[in-house]
Structure 1
Amino acid sequence: MLSDDELALLEAIQASGSLTRAAARLGKAPSTVSHAARQLEARFDALLFDRRRYRLQLTPAGQLLAQEAARLSLDVSRLTRRVKQVAHGWEDRLWIVTDELLEYETLLPVVRAFDALESGVALRLTHEVLSGTWEALRDGRADLVVGATNEPPSMPRLRWFELGVVEWVFAISPRHPLAKVNEPLQQEQLTPYRAVVVADSSRGVDGRGYGVLGGQATLAVPSMRAKILSQREALGVGWLPRHRVSALLRSGDLVEKRVAEEREPNTLYVAWHSDHEGRALAWWLEQLRNPRLAKRLTQGISVEP
């Protein structure tokens, strides 16, 4: 590892191309800089400076030393900041997993507010579907899950609270054949038409999907947004979160159809492990307990934080 003075020497010679100019840049006598340069070469037992030309240059070995020393210096600086950060109760990183039911855009103001804390905590936000959300918490792929569906499973040190309720609407394209069928739609009327599903992302169990009838063909898509777009384009039918498609219902790009067997609303949960006690997690939990944010996430209600 180079000292700050040695690193400054390499940078000054590389930038100026002259011992004299490097000395002026460093505020030292040329003889002092020349002696320091030879000491550095002796320390590494390598020729670091090419003195054969009019312009003093770093040799390939000198360039490697300058580049790697600068990188290591930055790494040490980052490590120092991270150690201080953790010592003050902030996590090094916080991994948040949201369920596909939630729109990422609704979390952007929260991320912006968290950034304003200048905590240094690295955020990672990913998403899962159905059982995959709970599984991410169980398997250590999440520190915090937001919008998990179904009842909280049995899990050591699990803590949770209800975020809110999501209502469903059976919505299809006005160009789909079912759009002209009298309501309420019966099961036998739905079965001939393909259902669009976002498959369960669980790695450990067989993928599941809701709202699919026995014998009904399916189109599996990668996200809720893809499901909404597919149904808008009349590629299939299915249940959609009302808050995600309210604008499309108002514009007529999707139409709501009453179904004989309605789908019950889903309660969404926020969950974490009780042995995680960092300040970043505590801050996020405080925000998610705010009823205004909960409504924005689960009902699409736009309100000021």
Structure 2
Amino acid sequence: MLDTETMRTFTKVAECKSFSKAAKLLFKTPAAISYRIKSLETDLNTQLFERTTRTVSLTLAGQHLYEHCSQWLLWLTTMPEELHQIRDGVERKINLTINNLLYDVEAVTELLSYLQEKFPFTNFTFNRQVYMGVWDSLLHGECHLAIGATGTESLDNMINIFPLGEINWVFVAAKNHPITHLEGPLSNETLRKYPAINIEDTSIYMNKRVAWLLPSQSEIIVPNITTKLLCHLKGLGIGFLPRSVCQKYLDSGELIECQVINERKPSPLSLAWKKSHMGKVMCEIINLFKFHHSLASSFLKNIDIKR
């Protein structure tokens, strides 16, 4: 009923909106084309074309069939190469998670462009997570590889890691904020009077972490590091920021570094991936980081790299 030749004939008529034009392109007679389409409609017991003396156009049922036939014919064209890639160990799908602290729009776009060109039949999904949400996506989600998992030790023996470096933190406030006029180190009693600006941990199954929040202190929750930085610049609250993110504002005087009693220790981050999903694509991404390719370096702007 829907053999390859019939599908090609049907889609060509739909695209040309003419039996005679389709016949020329397919090197058939108009009568042969018309007969094949009529036989298809009879077999399906469904009218696929509206016919007039001058034109033919798809019915709603014809439009539905055209969409599926087009997809099927396209897949038939690419299918041999897809099978060859699967045979050669190229994964059909890769899900990547990126730590919010390392997420960069241009870095993601450049990496995706590179991977799509090299592995055109692999489907890629990128998502952003915060703190333990990165590990959560690896251990309990569909993530295959994470850029910026916290720590330098794996939380599961089925996951390998490669240390990337660490985030160094600095406690900041806007230049006109009241605490910038006080001598440090500042006590917790002084700091808890002002809101802490935080990004909520996106973990679902694992215990959420809070970056910095004192007992009885109010909190402003924002979705990403860019918003957190802007809130600090506006003087809406206080807290820690990666030094690399705010250094130029410290240099300009828009933000002031404050000394506090409990400084935040550097946060080591790692590349982490599932051992069970190792194929050519995963190896390619891992090697980009291991051998310090510029595509990988674009994700590490906020990290102090230790080689």
Contact kept in structure 2, 1:2 and 1:69, CA below 8 Å: no
Separation in structure 2 between the aligned mates of residue 46 and residue 126 of structure 1, nearest angstrom: 44
- Following TM superposition, by how much is the alpha carbon of 1:257 offset from its aligned partner in structure 2, in angstroms? 1.7
8 Å CA contact 1:133, 1:148 repeated in 2: yes
The answer for the alignment partner of 2:70 in structure 1 is 70
Q: Counterpart amino acid of 2:113?
A: R
Matches of 2:139 and 2:17, distance apart in 1: 58
User: What is the identity percentage for the equivalent residue pairs of Structure 1 and Structure 2?
Assistant: 26
Deviation at residue 233 of structure 1 after TM alignment: 1.0
Which position in structure 2 is the counterpart of 1:24? 24
SS at match of 1:112: helix
What residue in structure 2 maps to residue 175 of structure 1? 176
Q: CA deviation at 1:29?
A: 2.5
Distance 1:220 1:55, change over 3 A: same
Moved more, 134-143 or 292-301: 292-301
SS in 1 for 2:270: strand
Shift in Å at residue 59 of structure 1? 6.1
In structure 1, list runs of 5 or more residues that go unmatched: none
Deviates more, 1:244-253 or 1:102-111: 102-111
Q: Who is 1:10 aligned against?
A: 10
Aligned residue identity for 1:196: I
Which has the larger displacement, 234-243 or 245-254? Answer: 245-254
Q: How does 1:1-305 map to 2 (within 5 A)?
A: 2-14=2-14, 18-50=18-50, 53-58=52-57, 60=59, 61-77=61-77, 81-105=81-105, 107-108=107-108, 109-150=110-151, 152-291=153-292, 297-300=299-302
Do the aligned partners of residues 281 and 13 (structure 1) sit closer, same or farther apart at CA in structure 2, a change above 3 Å counting?
Answer: closer
- Alpha-carbon distance change, 208 to 41 in structure 1, aligned in 2, over 3 angstroms: closer
Tell me which amino acid in the other structure corresponds to 2:53.
Answer: Y
For residues 275 and 47 of structure 2, the distance between their equivalents in structure 1, rounded to whole angstroms, comes to 57
- How many residues align? The count is 301
RMSD: 2.9
SS at match of 1:275: helix
Deviations 1:229-286 (A, max 9, x none): 1111111100101111222222332221222332211111111122221111111111
Instruction: Give CA-to-partner distance per residue, 1:7-40, whole Å, 9 cap, x none.
Output: 3433444455554444334322333334333433
Unpaired stretches in structure 2, ≥5 consecutive residues: none
Amino acid at match of 1:188: E
Q: Please state how far the C-alpha of 1:58 moved relative to its aligned partner.
A: 4.7
2: CA distance between counterparts of 1:240 and 1:86?
Answer: 44
Structure 2 length as normaliser, TM-score?
0.84
Task: Report the CA distance shift for 1:147/1:33 in structure 2 as closer, same or farther (over 3 A).
Answer: closer
- Deviations 1:46-72 (Å, cap 9, x if unpaired)? 444555x31252562444433432233
Deviates more, 1:65-74 or 1:273-282: 65-74
**Is the CA contact 2:188–2:261 (under 8 Å) kept in the aligned structure 1?**
yes
- In structure 2, do the counterparts of structure 1 residues 290 and 185 end up closer, same or farther at CA, with 3 Å as the change threshold? farther
Contact 2:242 2:302 in 1 (8 A): no
1:71 aligns to what SS in structure 2? helix
Q: What is the SS of the residue equivalent to 2:277?
A: coil
| CA gap 1:25/1:133 in 2 versus in 1, 3 angstroms | closer
Q: Give the letter for the 2:27 counterpart.
A: G
Greater CA drift, 116-125 or 137-146: 116-125
Distance 1:78 1:23, change over 3 A: closer
Instruction: From the superposition, tell whether residues 79 and 218 of structure 1 become closer, same or farther in structure 2 (CA, over 3 Å).
Output: farther
- Whichever residue aligns with residue 24 of structure 1, its letter is K
Residues 96 and 126 of structure 1 are in contact (CA less than 8 Å); yes or no, is this contact kept in structure 2? yes
Distance 1:84 1:216, change over 3 A: same
Asked whether the equivalents of residues 152 and 161 of structure 2 are also in contact (C-alpha less than 8 Å), the reply is: no
**Contact conserved, 1:160 with 1:271, CA < 8 A, in 2?**
yes
